[in-house]
Amino acid sequence: MVYTAVGAKCPRCVRLPKSALVTLKPGRMVLAVMAGLGAAAVGGYLFGVAVNMIGLLSIIFAYLLGYAVGEAVSWGSGRYHSRGMAIWASICAALGVLLPFMFLGLRGGGFTYAAINYILVSGGIWKYIWIAAAAYGAWRRNA
């Protein structure tokens, strides 16, 4: 016998049916990542505007961007929450923060060494703090 919250049951009755084990289908995973990238693109543009307007205090906006991307990933996956979805949401949120820097770096034309250097170096340490805040917001929404 196995003792459960509702009383003693036999081991066969305690096992979950296959229908109770929820898994994410590949199509839903693709939809979730696409929703996250779409939210990151829109949020990245707004984040670039926020950085220009309020400067370094835009860390709050970075966290909200991450939370919004996490919500989009959650919606796209059918409200499925797992560590894998949290990782994908964090990656999408980090790309959303990097988006304004990528557009400014690539504005000169082409993906050159100068553009890569601008993406990696511009914004200093704050860029990495913003990325961490956005990734944390997305992680908290999906973990």
Q: What is the pLDDT of residue 5?
A: 83
Higher-pLDDT residue of 58 and 77 is 77
Least confident residue range of 48-57, 70-79, 132-141: 48-57
Separation of first and last alpha carbons in the chain = 34
Cβ neighbourhood burial of 121 (10 Å; 0-12, 13-18, 19+): exposed
Higher-pLDDT residue of 39 and 6 is 39
Neighbours of 38 (CB within 10 A): 15
Percent of the chain with pLDDT over 70: 83
63 contacts: CB under 8 Å, gap ≥ 6: 133, 134, 136, 137
Mean pLDDT on 1-12: 85
